[in-house]
Structure 1
């Protein structure tokens, strides 16, 4: 599998090809379709990374776990009542693709 960076580079090249050349509509559409597939794959991978980061950041360290001892039930109740994660690193909203 290609890295995110490699796929972003490929996406830039596709975009440049569509903008800079005298492609026929079919060729441009094929490149656009390939670009959309790349974007969706990149978004999926970034979402997975964000989830992993949030999970790691919200894990208590060993020292906190030992200190929590008696107040463990309070913490569980608090987490159960909380709809949002304790730490939100990214608020990523995909940008819409303009059709220029």
Structure 2
């Protein structure tokens, strides 16, 4: 599977090809078709990464003294 950067470079290349003055309609359409597929793949990858970032930034920081445990297994027990 290609990585994000490779897909992005390919998308940029396809955009450049479409802008060429001498590109045929058929070639431009092929570039457009591939480009829309790549754009969807990149968007899904960005959404996946944003989801991971949201999870990481919403977890309590265990180094913080005010952080509460995710599971309060021992509440109600007197030591």
TM over 0.5: yes
Cα deviation for residue 51 of structure 1 reads: 0.6
Aligned equivalent of 1:65 = 68
Q: In the alignment, does 2:44 pair up with 1:48?
A: no
Aligned counterparts of 2:22 and 2:12: Cα–Cα separation in 1: 17
Gaps of 5+ in 1: 70-100
Aligned equivalent of 1:22 = 22
Aligned equivalent of 1:5 = 5
Aligned counterparts of 1:43 and 1:13: Cα–Cα separation in 2: 18
Aligned equivalent of 1:35 = 35
Tell which structure's C-alpha radius of gyration is larger: 2
Cα deviation for residue 21 of structure 1 reads: 4.8
Aligned equivalent of 1:78 = none
Map 1:89-100 to 2 at 5 A. none
Gaps of 5+ in 2: 73-79
RMSD, aligned CA: 1.6
Q: Which has the higher helix share?
A: 1
TM-score by length of 2: 0.75
Aligned counterparts of 1:28 and 1:49: Cα–Cα separation in 2: 31
Aligned counterparts of 2:68 and 2:49: Cα–Cα separation in 1: 25
Q: How many residues align?
A: 67
